[in-house]
Chains A and B, each alone.
Chain A
């Protein structure tokens, strides 16, 4: 297993035993851990620290994991969240995924699966961050065209929509692909989808 850079993981669970045991276990994988007993404490901590990933228990007194996920999703930049669910909480975990959680993992925790999920979530998240960064480097015109491409407009349709020539559209599209570092149309579409450009 490749040794990741020292990522910091925030563990949020109301059960002290679960928090501490996960912290101990994840430390053996070289993660830095930060344990918190409630969602409220987590929201406070997020003001000052920026963990690479959050492990969140689905069921907690007060604000539960699902509500917490909704709160986090409203924020612009939030670390990826992995939900931890006990037996029988699968429905809740699925709901969390729909609301944007990266993954869910069932208790009792299998550490190898957990670590794989954490690494995948972190990687996806950094990819997404890269895409957003590259998108920011686009010119205003290219951003408009990127939006239309994401909605499925063809070159002809874009030209008609913007009242410019096909040649000009093709030129902008080539620049767009180059700046987004996409080697094919499907890959470009994937990036644009990640940025949610296909919806207004």
Chain B
């Protein structure tokens, strides 16, 4: 393992040797710096001696530097700087696993610090080990810095994920044709920009940004990192083939650093945005689910209030049916039963059983988990069957229910269960208000009419109770505000959101007096609109 690494390191170093400034012996492209930091990040400080020795060997083989003593010291100082900063910035490198703009920025800072630390030490050693002028030492430090920085920002983000290259492979292996096209474009751009000496490479360098940025936007930080690395290698390859001078290469590497950092930051931003987006979607789904559960709970609470009335509503027809059947049996036992009476008892019993069945069906329909589907509904039918659900309890509370304009209503777009829920809520509130106030005259009017707003129908629920108290009006529609001791205070708030979700609105008609009036609107089905206008 270590031997393989050493061989890879030495090969990389040998490759970087394509450009070497004759004056200082430094190279403007040092991919092995990124390799070294990745090794420290993955395997820890125990890699430091191996790295220092390997680097020393490389220097001795390809870049003789002063005496072996100073060369060894230089290699050790370089590796110590890289290793120290890698360890110190371990957290920042780890955070790059879930890329954020913040993590990417900290990564760039780590790369920069490692570069500066290594260059500073190398320059310091050079003042003792060589007889270079200060200018030469500075130039040496500059080239070393640029080369290391390029190596680190292009290689480390890709290699730090070792041995989990899954994220990277997911980009390349199932890549769509667009990804391949962009990589091809990247290569082509490098060839075009750097392959012809007549072109001004500095001016046209920016063309390389196009595929790199596109890939970063497409695949996030992984895309940015791979494309920056690809751009860097392509550029070096083309420049080497074209026999560029090391000085030109060093200057171009500045631009390469900018490109790589841009790609990383952009990619991380894209990843972060995607992650936030999917979190938002998950949150919205959870919100929707809890809203549905709430609607259902509120339906069940409405229904449990209804339970006494419903059981009465069931007991009546069943009791009647039983009486008819008992009568039937007794008539049949008579010597000469009257056929007409027998038939009438049978018909009456069947009718009563049907009535009980309808009650059960209505209640069950209402309780069933509601979907959110909005369809074209016959409003008259929805309102009528909703009123059937509350009729018994209104009768028990001695409340008259009046209907106005409920026949011949147009079709609306909506959800049957939810509209029922809104109407029940308003009627139930009206009932409670009158019962609590012990109103002498108790009536509820449910009316439907055309509205001022085209394409909508208006439904109002009006009671003859005491009306809404002035201090209650401001928070009438706020959730968890209830005047009833057992009330959850969700009724009006939920009803209002249901109506809003239908595209209509629900309001309290403050001008109406005496009593209370609540009004809501629902959008008409498209083909009904002209009809209602007339």
Contact = CB atoms under 8 A, between A and B. Distances in A.
Interface residues of A, number: 22
B345 interface: yes
Among A21, A25, A27, A88, find the residue whose CB has the most chain B CB atoms closer than 10 A.
Answer: A21
B348 A21 contact: yes
Given A61-B398, A111-B326, A24 B319 contact: no
Interface stretch (B119-127, B256-264, B308-316): B308-316
A185 interface: no
Nearest to B352: A17
Given A61-B395, A109-B319, A21 B324 contact: yes
B323 to A, nearest CB: 4
B361 interface: no
A81 B69 CA distance: 124
Contacts of A25: 323-324, 326-327, 330
B336 interface: no
Nearest to B398: A61
Contacts of A59: 396
Contacts of A17: 316-317, 320, 348, 351-352, 355
Interface in B335-387: 341, 344-345, 348-349, 351-352, 355
Interface in B65-109: none
Contacts of B326: 25, 111
Contact of B323 (A22, A87, A88): A22
B311 A21 contact: no
Interface in A9-31: 14-15, 17-18, 20-22, 24-25, 27-29
B322 interface: yes
A17 to B, nearest CB: 4
A107 interface: yes
Given A59-B396, A108-B318, A21 B352 contact: yes
A88 B396 CA distance: 13
Interface string A41-73: 000000000000000000101100000000000
Contacts of A28: 327, 330-331, 334
B322 A109 contact: yes
A190 interface: no
A9 to B, nearest CB: 13
Contacts of A18: 316, 319-320, 323
Contacts of B308: 88
A15 B348 contact: no
A152 interface: no
Given A107-B315, A107-B319, A20 B327 contact: no
Nearest to A60: B395
A59 to B, nearest CB: 7
A130 interface: no
B342 to A, nearest CB: 10
A143 B355 CA distance: 58
A87 B320 contact: no
Given A17-B317, A17-B348, A108-B318, A24 B398 contact: no
A107 B315 CA distance: 8
Contacts of B398: 61-62
B315 A15 contact: no
Interface string B269-311: 0000000000000000000000000000000000000001001
Contacts of B341: 24
A24 B315 contact: no
B321 interface: yes
B311 A111 contact: no
Interface centre among A15, A25, A59, A107 (most CB of B within 10 A): A25
A27 B323 CA distance: 11
A121 to B, nearest CB: 19
Interface in A53-101: 59, 61-62, 86-88
Given A25-B323, A28-B334, A59-B396, 4 more contacts: A29-B330, A86-B312, A107-B316, A111-B330
Interface of A: 14-15, 17-18, 20-22, 24-25, 27-29, 59, 61-62, 86-88, 107-109, 111
23 contacts: A17-B320, A17-B348, A17-B352, A20-B320, A21-B319, A21-B321, A21-B348, A21-B349, A24-B345, A24-B348, A25-B323, A25-B324, A28-B330, A28-B331, A28-B334, A59-B396, A61-B398, A62-B398, A86-B315, A87-B311, A107-B316, A108-B319, A111-B323
Interface of B: 308, 311-312, 315-324, 326-327, 330-331, 334, 341, 344-345, 348-349, 351-352, 355, 395-396, 398
Ranked 7 nearest A-B pairs via Cβ: A21-B323, A108-B319, A17-B320, A28-B330, A21-B320, A25-B327, A24-B327
